[in-house]
Amino acid sequence: MQKNAHKTRAGLLLMAVLALGAAALYMLVNVDFENEKLFAYAMRIRAPKLFAMMITAFAIGGASLVFQSVINNTIVTPCLLGMNSLYMLIHTAVIFAAGSGSILAVNAKAAFGVDLLIMGTAATVIYSTLFRKTGHNVLYVLLIGTVLNSFFGSVQSALTRIMDPNEYDSLLADLVASFANVNSEIMVIAALVLALVVFALRKELALLDAITLGKDQAVNLGIDYDRCIRRLLLGVALFIAVATAMVGPVSFLGLILANLSRQLLKTYRHSQLILGSVFFGIIILVGGQLIVEQVFTYTVPVSVFITFFGGIYFLYLLLTERRRRGL
């Protein structure tokens, strides 16, 4: 037991060092240290993007790990709740109804506010109602979330088919996650919202280790299981809504972060697993963005690489899980 705890701490320390190294490389590579103005300009450009990647890693990594623990499945992601599809539908509807020149399309703060308001309200109202109507059955909630995901995607696809081609071209940039032009004021709001959600769910997060033992064991320990699960899933939906509204949809990122953290740390303590997923998120996002900027010169967004390698990793997880169960 003590040996496993030592390995877990060593793994966390290694990931922390790698995350710090990736952040330092991103901030300092190809920077002109001799010219103070150019150095200051590089810092002003890179610091907000680094902060945005750290917030995204925290939001998606933490939410994905909690989501998998709550539903007791390690090969699903919070995308099943429909937040990514809802984000794409919102932006498509704005361009379709108001045009690419409207304030909701041009002003980053207004767009973020609309995204966060609609997605946060939808998550709170829809999933609170679903839990109440389904008798707190998580599987039914996930099934309805999958249906909503398909519904939002179908409406968004229908709007793009009848949209003006020029408007569609301007829409494409919003539908791909990017850290190139993140507004610093938006990041402050996103960080505050995430902090408030964590504070509101501090008691439920502290009970995660016991909740994952199962409903019967959790109830025997005096935990209000249904209330905890409902609040945690609402928190997950809000976390994903904030991250998606800030940088756009990043498919498979949560799957990668949560499973890499579990595989490396091999512990049941969620405080350590969540911290590990955040470190992995910083390493992947910052390292990927460094490659995008320095090697591909912004021609390919980092989300494309994450989706590609995430899809391969998802297939690997499916095959290993099937082999483990002897199917």
Task: Please tell me the predicted confidence (pLDDT) of residue 280.
Answer: 93
Q: What is the mean pLDDT of residues 231-248?
A: 87
What pLDDT is recorded for position 37? Answer: 87
167: number of Cβ within 10 Å: 16
For residues 55 and 77, give the distance between their C-alpha atoms in angstroms, rounded to a whole number. 18
Q: Is 3 exposed, middle or buried (0-12, 13-18, 19+ CB in 10 A)?
A: exposed
Confidence of residue 200 (pLDDT cuts 50, 70, 90): very high
3-state DSSP of 268-321 = CCHHHHHHHHHHHHHHHHHHHHHHHHHCCCCCCCHHHHHHHHHHHHHHHHHHHH
> What is the structure's pLDDT at 283?
94
Q: Can you give the pLDDT at residue 266?
A: 84
- In the predicted model, is pLDDT for residue 322 greater than 70? no
Task: For tokens 């709740």, name the residue.
Answer: 81
- Mean pLDDT, rounded, for 113-122: 84
**pLDDT at position 105 over 70:** yes
Question: Pseudo-torsion of CA 62, 255, 53, 271, nearest 10°?
Answer: 20
Return the half-sphere exposure (C-beta side, CA atoms, 13 A cut-off) of residue 26.
Answer: 29
User: Which domains, ranges and CATH numbers included, belong to the chain?
Assistant: 2-38+48-324 (1.10.3470.10)
pLDDT digits (tens, 9 = 90+) for 279-321: 999 999 999 999 988 888 877 888 888 888 888 888 888 788 6
pLDDT at position 140 = 79
pLDDT above 80 (res 91): yes
Whether 176 has a pLDDT exceeding 80, the answer reads no
Highest mean pLDDT: which of 71-80, 88-97, 211-220, 277-286? 277-286
User: What distance in Å separates the CA atoms of residue 216 and residue 207, rounded to the nearest whole number?
Assistant: 14
* pLDDT higher than threshold 80 for residue 228: yes
More confident: 323 or 272? 272
Contact assessment for residue 130 and residue 60, using Cβ atoms and an 8 Å cutoff: no
Q: Cβ distance 49 to 179 under 8 Å? A: yes
